[in-house]
Every structure is written in C-alpha cells, then in structure tokens.
Structure 1
Amino acid sequence: MTDQLGTLLRRLRAQAGLTQEQVAERSGVSVRTIRRLENGGSTDHRLGTVNLLADALDLGREDRERLVALLARSREGGGGGEVGDGGDGDAPPTPRVPGEVSVPGPTPEPGPAPGTVPLLTGTPAPVVSGGLADVARELATEVRRRLRREEAHRRVHDPFPLPVRWRSAPAGVTDRPDNIQRLGPGALPREVDLSGDLRSVAEVYRRISSGRLVVLGRAGSGKSILTIRFVLDHLEASGGQGRVPVVFGLGSWDPTTTALRDWLIGRLLRDHPHLARRGPRGAPLAAALVDADLVLPVLDGFDEIAEGLRREALESLNATSLPLVLTSRPDEFAEAVRAAHAPLLWAAGVELTDLTHEDLVGYLPRTARPVPRTARPVPKAGRPVPKAARAVPGTGAGGAGADAAGDAGGADTTVRPGPGPEPGLWDGLLEELGAPAAPAAERLAAVLTTPLMVVLARTMYSEVPDRDPVELLDAARFPTVRSLEEHLLAGFVPASYRRRAPERDTAGHRPRPAGWDAGRAERWLGYLAQQLVGRDRDRQDLAWWRIGDSLPRSTRVLAVVVATALSVAVADWLVGLLNTGTGAGETFLQGCLMGPVAGLAFGSAYALVISVRGGTAFEPARVRLRQPGLHGGLGRRPVRTFAARFRDGLLGGFVMGVGYACALSLERAVFRGTPLADADTVESTLINMVCFGLIFGSAAALVFGLVAALEAPVDVTAAATPVSLLAANRATVARQFLVVAPALTVAIAGSGGLVVALLQGVLGPLNWRLADGLLIGAVGGIGGGVSYVLAFTAWGQWVVLTRIWLPLTGRLPWDTAAFLDDAYHRGVLRQTGAVYQFRHARLQHHLGRTFRERQRRYSAATFPSASGAGTP
C-alpha cells in the first residue's frame, strides 16, 4: 500500500503542476520526506504530514478520502507505528480522535475564513494521448530551449536578475473576484494573494482559478523578461505535460481581419515550421494543438496593437474562454477597457512596481567587474606590512589586507585573491541618489526606476572603460528626465559596438573584422527601425523577408524587371553558345531582346501579385520537395493549392509565350531585315503568339502543378530562428530550381510537339524540330526558373532587394544577414521565433527618430502616446 500511496501522491502533484521543492515550500514538509513518500521509502506516516501535502496540492474531498484510505490500509498492513505517532519528523503531530478517520477537505460554507490563501490549480488542462501529446511535448521542449537561450543571451542572470515586483492591479481594469474564481451564484469569493516577484510568477498564476492574468507595467518595467520567466517556470512545474505556454507578440494582430485562432496558428507556423505537417484529420499540427487547447497563449504587448484596433482586440479576447497571460502598458489597456465597457473577462491583474534605491545599491556595484591584479605575498604576524599592501579597500576592518593571525616568521607565500570590483565606480552616484536633495539627483532617481534604464546605464558605464557615471548628475547637460533617458538610449549602440578583438576559430584562424563601426551600425539600425513605422501602427517584428517592403512598390517592380531580364538574357546567351547554327551576333541580339520581354512579363505579374497581396512580401516557404511514393505518394497537398498553381502557371506561361513571339519577330526584323508591317509577318507573329502561348502556358501549368503535388512540410525539429529559416529557405529554393529548370525544359519541348501536332491543320503548316524545342526549353527552363525564384519567393526577394538593391544605395550593409545576427549577439536585437526585434521599443523609437532627423527631408513620426513611452 505504501507504493500505491506514493504513486497517488506523484500523480496528484503532477496534476497540480508543482515540483517537489514547491510542494515543500508550500507545506513545510521537507523535500527528503516528500521524496521518500513518493518513492515508497517511508512506511511510518503521520496523518498531519499527509494533511499538509493535501492542503499544498489543494486537493478535493474525493482525492483526500483516497489518500486517507490508502494511509489507513498502509497502517493496517504493519507499516510501523500508529497514525499520528512518530515517523516523518517534519511536521507537528496532529491530534487524532480514537475510532475516527479524519478526512480534511474544503468546508461546505461559501468561503474559507478570512486570511486563508488556498492554492488554486486553475482551469484543468486537457487530457490528450497519442501523437498529439508527443507533438505538444516536442513543442514544450523547443520553447524551453529557445527561451533559456534568449534569457542567457540577455544576461538576465548576470550578476543576478533585477528585481521585478508587482502589486494588484486597479479594480477598474480587472474582473470581479467571483468571476475570476469562476464561482456559482451566491458563492462568496475567497481571498487570493497575488503579490510576488519574478521568482514566483508561475506560482501566482496557478492561484488564479480562471487561468487568465493581465500584467501591466510601463515601458521598460520588465514585462518581456517576466513572460520569459513565467514560461520557463510553468514548463518546469508541469514537467512538459498539459498546456504549453508560448509567447506571442500581439503587435502584428489585426482583429478586424484575422480571428484569434487563425492568428495563433499562423504565428505557430511561422516560428515552428514543423507544425505545418498534417495531423490525422488533415489539419496542420499547429491547428490541432490550438483546437485541442494544448497551447497557453502568453500575449505580450497589447499596447503595441494599433490604437484603433485595441477595443476590437479586447472584445475578441472576451469572446473566448481560453486561459491566457496578457501584458500591456497600463494607460493603453485602461483605455481599451473603457472603450469596450468591460475588462478582460475572468482575468486577474497585477501591476509592476518601480525599482528602489536599495535595488540599485545591490545591483550596479556588482556589474563593475574587478580589474585583474597580481597576487601578493601575505606577510605573517610580527613582520611589517609592506607599504603596497596597506589600506586596500574592501579587505576588512582598517583596510590592512594582512593576516594578523599566526606566528612570527618569514613571509607567507599563500596566494590570496585580489580586491573586489573597481572601487568607487558607482559609490558616488549611489550616495547622491540615496538622499536626492539636488534636482539633478531627483531626476536621475526617477530615470533609474525601470530595468531598461538600469541596463542601459550598466552597459554605458560598467562595461566601457574610462566612463564615469557621475556625469549623469550634470544638471547643465541633462536638465530634464527626457534628456537623461535620451542620453542613455543614445549611448547604448556605441557602447555595444566598441571594438573587440575577434576570437580565433577552432582551426586557429582569426576572422576578418566585420567593419561595422558604431556610426555605420547606428545608421543601418536606424534605417531598419524607421521602416517598421507604418501608417497606422508601430510594428516590432523585424523579419528578413519583409525588409524589402521598405522600398516603394515602383522601385521593387523595377528591381524585379531588371533582375529577371538579366536572368533570361544570360540564359539565352549561354544556351545560344550550344547552337552552332546561330551566329554570335544573332545570339547576343536575341538575348538582348528576350531579356527585356521576359523582364516586363515577370515585372507585370509581380506588380499584380503584390497589389493583390496589399503590398506585402512573400512568406518563407514552409514546404520541401519529396520523391513520389514516399509519405503517401502524391495528393497530400490540398487540391486548391494544385489548382491555383496550375492556373497561375497557365496564365503566366501564356503571357510569356506571347512576349517570346513578339521578340522573335522583332529579332528577325532587326537582324534579317524582315519588315514588321508585312502581312505575312503579322500573320506569322499572331500564329506564333497562339502557339508559343499554349506551349509555354501548358508547360508551366504542368510543372508548377506537379511541384505543388510533390511539396511536403519542412521536416525540422527545432523552432525557427531568423538565420536557420533563411538557410532553410535558401536550400528549399535551390531544390525547387533543380526540379523546375529541367522539368520546364522537357515540358516545353514535349508540349511544343503536341501543340504543333494538334494545330497543324488549323493554323497551316507549322515547324517544330526537337532540337529547336530543347534549345527553347532550356532557355525557358533556366531563365524562367531563376526568374521565378527571384520574383516569387521570399529568398529571391531577399537577394534582389536586401542583398543587392539596398546595399547599392548605402542603406544597408552588403551582408545584411551577418549584420543582423551580429547585432543580436551584441544585445541590440533580440530573437522572437523567426524574427528579430529591437531590444526594446524605446530603443527602436530612438534609433528611428535619430535616423529621420539626419535626413534632408525630415518628417516626424508619431508613436502610441503613453507616459514614459519615449514619444519623439
């Protein structure tokens, strides 16, 4: 029975989502005792110990009765002492009434006595087994791995996390307590303590019956760090079971065009491409996870939604009952609540508080790393202390730094560590802030109340030599709070891009310096920051496939025309070298004519597509090509996808064929002197337009339809990062080209013979030799394949616009991908799934405004107004 009792305890603890350490903290029972109980290693149990564990797990009456029954049966089986006597030694003994078994549990009254704080487990997690449960565990593993890496990259624990505390949110922005606790009519709500700090955020969330929590905090108060810590602690407590918390940046959600469910699925597919695989019922795994209630949305940045959409967003959230965590700045959320005439239903709320002077005193001096010093011989007692060893600060009373114990004798050669951090770096400043009598100290104290500003100050002064933070008290230089904040923001990028010696790789080679000095890096980052500002919103996601959207549509169309024209012209020249029957001059002229025709055709199609898409870029491909017969053979892709590709290929190919016929007639007129106005020439041109249109159209329709049938979701097991997603799309596009180019070549040659055979008697005598068909097909296959890649894939747009066009104009570096990755490793950018974001919205606003002010035609941009939001 002891084993059954331990098994039941383990299962109940897993359902509550608590670790043994957390149960020990709640119950007062030691971890050793809990471990012995769960493993069946303890045979002498106190009822009081089990009662304490039941209270910590907030068990219902039925589960408590099962525990007591197993406990009684274990005692009857000779487990050793009576219930209530001896045993665990961790909890006080519980009085026992003879002949009666105590079954502690919730009282039938509406609520417990005032002052009690029951531990609630929130809404029950769905029970799912089989393949979907495995997918959820894989997602939990990836979320944990990625956020641990992000937390380490942000140096949250260096030297220790800044305190993030909170208090209960104002009553006007939260729901009624009885609604939060999901009580029935007439039931009295119990008192639930929501106070805590960064270490207990997941624990506080579990006290909320509805599973809905709103976290409010002003800009830079630590909301993003809190969400990361919540996800990691929640995953650790749940052991990867139940709902998987996933952070979603809310800034890109438009509730008027996209339902919350569809938006969540889209974000999952973007950041976790492997969830595009089809489930048992044909839906993507991302949709299956959301529909099965296996995803706990952590919605970060409600205030980043466009101002005119916040009321609709809150109403959309209220139309659902799913558990969630939402963060926002207080004013924006309160305004949305007033506009919607309702708070977030069933949601409790907390508001982050400011850092205190004691927090600064404990944190900032420890960020100033000690300067390495040589070890000194420590003299023994009775010998004179060398002058160099006297009055060393921080080495004990009197500052002597010598060992006063021991006997007389020669010098002791024991190596002692040198003194602590560089003395005095923050001492003077912190002393002034401790008693802010001067206005300058008051202003600085008001600035250094958020983790963001403290981190900026640390970066500028603790991590850069020869910088004295006392300059922040210069009243003439910094007359306002805003000027202090702008100074810290302005110094972050130069401090992050200070010159560092490049490390040697494993082979011992020293890489070449990137050449990104602070000035150029700040200009490039400013360009990226100001391009994130739209007409109606301030976007946060910096996606590599959307950087080209910063260019005007006309410029993008022109870039596609030039790129595709060069691709087809070069393909025509290369293939023409194989045709010994055509001279070099005619081949060159043919390429010069075919290139612009193809460029105009692809440019027109591109302009039409981006107009239909509202000017947005192409999304990265989430598919790969697989061999027929594997994974179920053909037909796994939806029929509508195949039909859409077939239609687009037919129309685009027909337009390309018409253009090719016109270019062919023009070539003959220029090179051979054939008059264009001649009736025979016009008739021949019209016939060629029909024939080549059908040949190119049918070939393109067949090939792109076949490619759609061969596509399968990308087979990855890791959450996408910007670098890995770019590399995966490059490989995907390369494989697509290797299939499309030869397939188009064969299809054009084969369809040419079929079309000529069908129209031979209708349009008169037609000529289509196999050799000519293969040459035309090779030009169409190579040139058309490259043009398709450059014009209609995310990686192709990245190459044309971001790798070539923008660097040519000096707005970005040549290796933009390496620059973004380097900015991430320097801490200027952060990663959120498959996209980058600036370290903070305040930094993004500052860089964008600085970039615009340096342009000749400066126009100020407006951002969502809020206190401390950094509005220019």
Structure 2
Amino acid sequence: MGTGWRTRRVGVLYLVLAVGGMAGAVCIAFRSDLRVAETAAALLPSVGGLYLSWAAFRADRREAADGYGLDRIADRLAVAVRGQWESEAGVRRLNDPYPLPVSWQTADPQFSESWSLLREMAGDWPSGRSAPPPGWAREPAGLAGTGGEITEVFLERVPTRRLVVLGSPGSGKTMLLIRLLLALVAERAEGSPVPVLFPLASWNPAEQTLESWMAERLARDYSGLGAPESGHADHTGHADHARALLEHRLILPVLDGFDEIPEPFRAMALDSINAALPLGQPLVLSSRVTEYGDTLAPARGVPVKLSGATAVELRPLDAPDIADYLKRDAGGQDTTAAARWDPVIRLLGTDAPVARTLTTPLMLFLARTVYNPRPGEEATVLPTPADLCDPTRFPDTEAVRAHLFDAYVPAAYRPHPRYPCRWSPQQAEHALRYLARHLQHTLGGATDLAWWQLRRALSPRIAQVVTGAVLGVVAWVAATVVGRLTALLAGLDSGWQTGPPAAVVAGLAGGIAGGIGCGIVAGLTGGIAEGVTHVLTAGQLEWLRTALADGPAYGFIGGLVGALSSKLAVRQPAASRPQHRRAWDWRMCALGFTAGAALWFSFRHSYGSTAAAVGALANGAVYAVAGGAVGARASSLSARRPGAIPTVRTRWAWNWRGFAVGLASGSAIGVTHWTVLGIQSLLTGTPSYTFTTMLSFSSAFGLAVGIAHGLAGKPADLTTSVGPAAFLEQDRKIFHRLWMGVGLAVGAAFLLCYGVEYAVRGGIPYGLGRGTTSGQAISMGPLHILNRGLAYGLTVGLAAALSHNAWWHYTLARHHLAAHRHLPLDLTAFLTDAHERRGVLRQLGTIHQFRHIDLQHHLAAPGRSQEPGAAHPPLPSPRSPLPPAREP
C-alpha cells in the first residue's frame, strides 16, 4: 500500500460524497416537484465536487503511472541544485570581479584522525582496490591548496572523502563550500550522489534526527521530494523521495555552520552525524575553529570527533592578493578610484588595525561595498578609504569591524544607477534591525528568516480575534445574505433566516480555525451581524437576543470541538506531551454553564419561560461538564497553537485519525442538542427534534469537522529549487484550493445527510421556530438544505484552509507590523530586494539569512556602534516608527 493508493482513497471518498450529495439533491428536486432550472441549481454544488474528486483521482493515477526512479530524480535534483547555487553565487558576487584566492593548510592534528588510520579505513572498504589510488595524499601536508584545488583535495587527496573545513569568522568557509558544491555538480556522473548544502543552524539535534531534518529541508527547498509534517493532517509513514534519496546515499551532505548550533548541543550533533552518516558516506562539514575544538575537547563530558574525517584550516588573505582585489574592484590599477586605496595598501602586511581587519573575505567585501563606486557612480561622493588608517578613530581591529558593519547597510542602500530602491537607507536599516532582533530574541537566536515564522511576532490573541471576525462575517454573508437572495430569486418568503444560524456556522468554523477564543469571537460576530439584520429588516428584536446568545454558546462548543479534534488528529511524541495536566478547569466550567444556559433561555419567546428555564439548566449543565473536563486542554492549545507549515500543491493527503476524531467530536454537538431537547420535552411537553433529524444533523456536523481535519495540501512533484517568494505564492494558491476543495466536500456532506432525510420523511422540522415572524415552526425545504450546504461548505472550508496554511497568519503579521511601522508593508519585495539587489541577505532554499551571522548580531545589538569619542545614541526600540516608504 504505497502513497498512490493512499491518495487515491481520497479521490474515492470524494466520489462517494459527491455522488451522495447529488443523489440527495435529486431526491429533494423530485420530492418537491421543482422545475428544471431549480433542479439544475440543486445539482450544481454536487457537480463541482464530482468533478474535483474525479480530477484528483485521475491525477493520482497518472502520477503513479508516470513516477520517476531515484536515479532520474537525483539527476533532476542536480539540475535544480546547480541552478540555485549559480544564481546565489552571482547574487553574493563571489566571482565579481574574480574569485578571491582563498587558501588553506592542514589543520591541527587534534581535529583529524591520524593519517595512517584514514588510509587504513579507506583501504578496508569493499571497493575492490588492490592498492591505494595514486591521488591520495601521502601525508596531511599534501592537503594544502588554493581556490579551485578544493575539489581535487576532496575527491582525490582525502582517502575517506570526509573533510572538515575550519576557519575564523568571515574567513570564507561558506564561499569555499559553494565553489566546491558547484564543481562537484559539474563533475557528477548520471545517477551518482547529488551534493546539497545544509545550513546546520536550523537543526536541533535534541528534537530531530539528522535524517529527518535533512529530509525536511530537502522537501521544503526542492518542492517535490516529499513533505515535511504539514499541518494537522500529514502523518505519513512512508518513505518519500527525500528520505529515499538519503537512504540510498544519493545525497552528498555539505553541512555548513556547525558552530551556529547552540553550544550545549554540539557534541550531541556530532555524535548524531556519526550515527546517521557512517564510514563510507562522503561528507563536508564547516565550522569555526574554536567552537569545533571545544566540542572535540570539552571541559566536561566525553570528547566527540567526526569519524574518518580530516580537517583543513583557511588561512588569512595575503597582502598582495588584498591589494590586487581592491584595486581591480575599483576599476583597475590606474584608475582614480583605485588610487584611493593607496594609503590602506601601504599598511597591508603590518600590524596596523586596518591591515589585520582586511585579511578575511567578509571584511574585504564590506570595505569594497562601502568605499568602491559602482559603475556610473562618482567616487567623490563616497567616503575615503584613507579614514581607516586613522589610529585615533580606529585604535584596534574591533573598532574597524564595527565601523564597517555600521557603514555597510547605508552603503548597500545608497542610490543605485540601475536599481532604484523604494526604501531609504534609514528605512532599510530600521527594518533590518527589527528582523535581526526578531531572530535574536523572539526566535531564540535563530538564523533562518522564514516568512511563515513571522507570525511569532504577532500576539496569538490578535490573530484569534481577527480570524474569528473574518469567519463571522463570512458565515453571516453565506447563511443570511446569500440565503435571503436565493429565497427571493426562488419566490420563497421565509424571512431572512433561510440559511442556518450564522453564529452556529461561525462558532464551529472558528473553533476549527483557532480554538476557543477564535470560536467565541466568530460566533459573536456572526450572531451580532445576523441579529442586527433581523432588527433592521423585520423588526424582530427578540432575534437579536437569540443571536447574541448563539454567539458565545456555539463559539464555545465549536472551540472545544475544533481545538480537541485538532490536537487529537496529530499523534504527539511522548516527550512533547505536557507532564502536568489540570483535571478540572473551573473557569471553563463557569463559562460553559453561562454560555449554554443563556442559549436556551433566549428561546423563551418560542417555548415559554418554564420550558426555556428547564432547557437552560440542562444545556448549561452539559456545557459546564464539557468545559470543566476538557476546557484546560483545549484552551491551552488555543493559546499556543503552532503555526502551520506552508504547503505547495493540491494533491490530497488523507488523515484517517483526524477524520475519525473530527467525526466523533462533531457528532457530539448534534447528540448533545438532541439530548437536551429530549429532557426538556419530557419535563414540559414541548416538541423536540426527532431521532432522524438528530442523526442527519450529527452526521453532517461530524463529516464537516472530519473533512476539515482529514485533508491537507502536500508538495508538488517538481524537483526545482523554490525561493521564499515562490514558496509564499504556492502557499497562497493552495490556501484557495483547500478552501474550495474542503468547502465542496463539506457542502456535499450536508446535501447527503439532509437530502436523505428529506427524501424519506418529505420534510425536516426547521428548528425552534426560526425563520418566521409568527414564531411558528416550519419545515425545512430544498432551499433551506441547499443554503445549509453552501453556508457550512463556504465557512468550514475557509476555516480548514486557515488552519492548514501559513499564508493567512503571515498576512496578518505583515499588516500588523507595517501598521506599527516596524517593517514595510510589501515585506516580500523588501526581502527580495535585500537579497538580489543589495546583498544584505542571502537565500538558502525557502528561507533568508543575513549575509553573515556577525552582521545579524551587530544589527540586533542594543546600541549603534559609533566612532570612538562620539556620542552613542540609543538604537530605536522595536516599536519606533518606520517612516513612510518612498516611491521608486
């Protein structure tokens, strides 16, 4: 039973629901003797669901038939990797004006296995060699080299092909790895392993194995190799393409930034690398010297070393190479701009602070950006490099470094002859400092700037309120406004309440989307809008009271159902489960009693005060027990609901656990109401719902919640590199497709459940006298059923899309931060410009990072570095205003 079979089962289920909904609509049409046009209108929602399900079913079959072997997938991945890093090398100007001549030497012996042991390890591998290859270095000193020789060192001179690249901060480790990766891809044979660069800063070895983390990065950066855990409905246990490539050793890991793993986890990380990538698996690892040395020789604990690896260490740049590079970047030896560097060049090779600072590629890049003119730019408008030679202003290397970091962002955003910028240097620096602080403080020192994590800067309460309000308005439009328009077009006058109560629909949807808080806000919004509509159009003041009671009641129970089904739909690891749980929540108990009692007491104009009081007590008791028993778990989930991981395609993954949990919890709503009405009927003699009506109601609600938690988008089968902007656009598209797909399925479920009952009984009691000005109960007709399918489909489908996708919460956070002038409103364009045009950010697959971690730390610092002796004005707080953006 592979992936194709599992996804085709979703198509089968959709077919059953769509055909069932169509059968229900046909029964409604013939039972009511509707005209041809009305029959066509009744069948229209089911036709859409039928087409969608059949298209999904055929697409899955076609995909299974056209599947690629792993060798071909690896070949296509290699093309994507090459395109990605050639583009990134251009953006980072690694070859402009020419590649820096970075050189290296053999690292201290403590960082490597003994050379004799390395040769012995490689000779013992089952390769069929009768003698060591002639390319192997005879001793560690043979690993020294410069520039492009790194490929030869890795492929031919290192016997085990396991290499550690060490260096000081900014010494060019990542630049060298990119050159090595591009060379390996260029020399790669078809069907052989693909070198892929993995930034280790985003890996937490205490929570995730190396294999799982690498598979997740591959699936996210190359959208088709498989899906990371996506939302509530993705718990696939099969080996996707990413895992299969890793298991078959068709990925050559290039692990960058070992030093960026937090210090307490480095030894654990190195041990995990040894376990996941055993001897015989080539790999490259980069790290700063001190951090790697501390891991190999810790003050406490057992030393850990990368098995079967040797190490090289990058050397400082030579003075002649620095001078030639600066002059060439300024236009050549005899240009006026190049002559500006003469005072600095005369100090190179000495102990002057500027000479010692410019020995790393990072500082050299900052200096050229600050002081060298661009084509078409006058050098006279720029600061002079001779200022760096002033021993009073720059007494040590730290002062020079701080000055270059301070001047870098304004220099990157100064007016460009070819690329005009929408943001001034002050605006850009303000936004970049906020992002650096967001990474440093909100995300705990992370380096990955992922757009879907920006929601962490937004209060969960704000997200719940806004999401609930949107769902409440959508429910009101679908249940009340569209229902009334449909009734008028059909010549049916049953008041404004042709569709279901907006508060009921909104409360359930809000609970699915955001838990109890979101459910209550959604229910209140939908109820108030519906009640005001009745007051303004029909003068039914009593319905405003009912709608206001509907809101918190259905929002509360919808929040319980939505939050618990969301939580139970995903299997939680034992380590992540809370250790201490409250057995009873008295606050939720009180809230549940108040909401439940107010709901039924509001119907006293229909049932009378005595019956309403009895129903209020019974319903309040049920709500109180539900809130007290499970409210603590549901409310904690509502407040700390994790952000959804973006998705990039519309092929469905089916979560039977989520569907079963949703079906059971959604059905509980109908059973509860039927029980309460039954108790009230026995005590007062008032009418109640029949068992078949309860069954239809429960089945429809259960299917709605189950489908909402049982479907999720999964990545497309395209082995191409996906950037942050494209990833955002893909997630936005899948948001709309999930809305449509889940909405059609939910609508078909309601047509099926209510249509069967209507066909059997010839009518359905329409609740508590709603929809008439006289308060008399009416029977639910075909248009009522169709409006229910529309209202629940549209609103619950939207809730499911909101709960499974990251685009919505990113949009909320972006607008919130722009309103407070922390970040530009068009944040995607700002980040793209900062990467592609300014070089301040770098791009690694679907995430951005600052060009160097030291730049991130500098921007996140609490104060701005100034020249010695100058005033140190405090850096604007994260809440300081961002000036309005300047037009291009």
The two structures share one fold, judged by TM-score above 0.5: yes
**1:819 alignment partner, SS class:** helix
Name which structure has the greater RCO, CA cutoff 8 Å, separation 6+: 2
Correspondence for 2:170: 220
Label 1:586 to 1:242 Cα distance change in 2 as closer, same or farther (>3 A): closer
Correspondence for 1:603: 514
Displacement after TM superposition at 1:564 (Å): 2.9
Q: Percentage identity across aligned positions?
A: 34
AA matched with 1:232: L
Residues 498 and 787, structure 2, Cα contact 8 Å, conserved in 1: no
Displacement after TM superposition at 1:687 (Å): 11
Label 1:476 to 1:301 Cα distance change in 2 as closer, same or farther (>3 A): same
Q: How do residues 403-414 of structure 1 correspond to structure 2 at under 5 angstroms? A: none
Q: Does 1:209 align with 2:156?
A: no
Label 1:594 to 1:734 Cα distance change in 2 as closer, same or farther (>3 A): closer
| 1:194 aligns with one of 106, 118, 143 | 143
AA matched with 1:599: G
Q: Which deviates more, 299-308 or 353-362?
A: 353-362
Q: How do residues 533-552 of structure 1 correspond to structure 2 at under 5 angstroms? A: 533=440, 538-552=445-459
| 1:155 aligns with one of 88, 93, 102 | 93
> Aligned partners of 1:274, 1:601: CA distance in 2, in Å?
28
Q: Does 1:696 align with 2:701?
A: yes
Q: Does 1:298 align with 2:246?
A: no
Label 1:203 to 1:461 Cα distance change in 2 as closer, same or farther (>3 A): same
AA matched with 2:513: F
Correspondence for 1:446: 356
Q: Does 1:478 align with 2:478?
A: no
| 2:650 aligns with one of 618, 624, 630 | 624
Q: How do residues 377-776 of structure 1 correspond to structure 2 at under 5 angstroms? A: 420-422=335-337, 424-433=339-348, 435=350, 442-463=352-373, 465-500=381-416, 515-533=422-440, 538-576=445-483, 577-580=485-488, 591=502, 595=506, 598-599=509-510, 602-604=513-515, 616-625=642-651, 641-647=654-660, 649-650=662-663, 653-654=666-667, 692-702=697-707, 705=710, 707=711, 713-754=715-756, 767-776=779-788
Displacement after TM superposition at 1:800 (Å): 2.9
| 1:167 aligns with one of 94, 105, 109 | 105
Label 1:253 to 1:658 Cα distance change in 2 as closer, same or farther (>3 A): farther
> Aligned partners of 1:848, 1:365: CA distance in 2, in Å?
33
Correspondence for 2:855: 843
AA matched with 1:827: G
Label 1:241 to 1:743 Cα distance change in 2 as closer, same or farther (>3 A): closer
Q: How do residues 205-354 of structure 1 correspond to structure 2 at under 5 angstroms? A: 205-206=154-155, 207-240=157-190, 242-276=192-226, 283-319=239-275, 320-321=278-279, 322-339=281-298, 340-354=302-316
Correspondence for 2:4: none
> Aligned partners of 1:583, 1:771: CA distance in 2, in Å?
10
**1:836 alignment partner, SS class:** strand
Residues 161 and 282, structure 2, Cα contact 8 Å, conserved in 1: yes
Residues 275 and 285, structure 1, Cα contact 8 Å, conserved in 2: yes
> Aligned partners of 1:775, 1:759: CA distance in 2, in Å?
19
Displacement after TM superposition at 1:751 (Å): 1.8
Label 1:762 to 1:770 Cα distance change in 2 as closer, same or farther (>3 A): closer
Q: Structure 2 stretches of 5 or more lacking a match?
A: 1-67, 125-130, 229-236, 375-380, 516-558, 568-635, 768-777, 865-873, 880-888
Residues 453 and 485, structure 1, Cα contact 8 Å, conserved in 2: yes
Correspondence for 1:796: 808
Q: How do residues 108-127 of structure 1 correspond to structure 2 at under 5 angstroms? A: none
Q: Which deviates more, 456-465 or 176-185?
A: 176-185
Residues 245 and 251, structure 2, Cα contact 8 Å, conserved in 1: yes
Label 1:180 to 1:277 Cα distance change in 2 as closer, same or farther (>3 A): same
Q: Does 1:807 align with 2:827?
A: no
Residues 199 and 255, structure 2, Cα contact 8 Å, conserved in 1: yes
Displacement after TM superposition at 1:574 (Å): 4.2
Label 1:483 to 1:298 Cα distance change in 2 as closer, same or farther (>3 A): same
> Aligned partners of 2:672, 2:173: CA distance in 1, in Å?
57
> Aligned partners of 2:714, 2:728: CA distance in 1, in Å?
18
Displacement after TM superposition at 1:284 (Å): 1.4
> Aligned partners of 2:190, 2:862: CA distance in 1, in Å?
45
> Aligned partners of 2:354, 2:286: CA distance in 1, in Å?
27
> Aligned partners of 1:140, 1:543: CA distance in 2, in Å?
24
Task: String of CA shifts for 1:746-800, please: whole Å, max 9, x gaps.
Answer: 3222223446789999999995432111112211112222232233312232233
> Aligned partners of 2:103, 2:670: CA distance in 1, in Å?
67
Q: Which deviates more, 166-175 or 716-725?
A: 716-725
Q: How many residues align?
A: 638
Q: Which deviates more, 243-252 or 751-760?
A: 751-760
Label 1:855 to 1:688 Cα distance change in 2 as closer, same or farther (>3 A): farther
Displacement after TM superposition at 1:231 (Å): 0.7
> Aligned partners of 1:854, 1:759: CA distance in 2, in Å?
73
Displacement after TM superposition at 1:444 (Å): 1.5
Residues 823 and 829, structure 1, Cα contact 8 Å, conserved in 2: yes
Task: String of CA shifts for 1:798-823, please: whole Å, max 9, x gaps.
Answer: 23333x33323322222211111111
> Aligned partners of 2:818, 2:793: CA distance in 1, in Å?
30
Correspondence for 1:358: 320
Displacement after TM superposition at 1:313 (Å): 0.8
**2:297 alignment partner, SS class:** helix
Displacement after TM superposition at 1:302 (Å): 0.6
Displacement after TM superposition at 1:259 (Å): 1.8
Q: Does 1:854 align with 2:875?
A: yes
Correspondence for 2:605: none
Residues 188 and 194, structure 2, Cα contact 8 Å, conserved in 1: no
Q: Structure 1 stretches of 5 or more lacking a match?
A: 1-129, 371-393, 395-418, 437-441, 504-512, 627-636, 666-674, 859-872
Task: String of CA shifts for 1:593-616, please: whole Å, max 9, x gaps.
Answer: 864674356321676658769754
Cα RMSD (Å) of the superposition? 4.1
> Aligned partners of 1:688, 1:849: CA distance in 2, in Å?
64
Residues 729 and 795, structure 1, Cα contact 8 Å, conserved in 2: yes
**2:832 alignment partner, SS class:** helix
Label 1:583 to 1:230 Cα distance change in 2 as closer, same or farther (>3 A): same
Task: String of CA shifts for 1:387-411, please: whole Å, max 9, x gaps.
Answer: xxxxxxx7xxxxxxxxxxxxxxxxx
Label 1:172 to 1:679 Cα distance change in 2 as closer, same or farther (>3 A): farther
Label 1:176 to 1:648 Cα distance change in 2 as closer, same or farther (>3 A): same
Displacement after TM superposition at 1:429 (Å): 2.1
> Aligned partners of 2:340, 2:447: CA distance in 1, in Å?
35
Label 1:361 to 1:698 Cα distance change in 2 as closer, same or farther (>3 A): same
> Aligned partners of 1:239, 1:680: CA distance in 2, in Å?
83
**1:498 alignment partner, SS class:** coil
TM-score by length of 1: 0.66
Label 1:741 to 1:600 Cα distance change in 2 as closer, same or farther (>3 A): closer
**1:422 alignment partner, SS class:** helix
> Aligned partners of 2:667, 2:855: CA distance in 1, in Å?
50
Displacement after TM superposition at 1:585 (Å): 7.5
Residues 602 and 791, structure 1, Cα contact 8 Å, conserved in 2: yes
Q: Which of structures 1 and 2 has the bigger CA Rg?
A: 1
Displacement after TM superposition at 1:840 (Å): 0.8
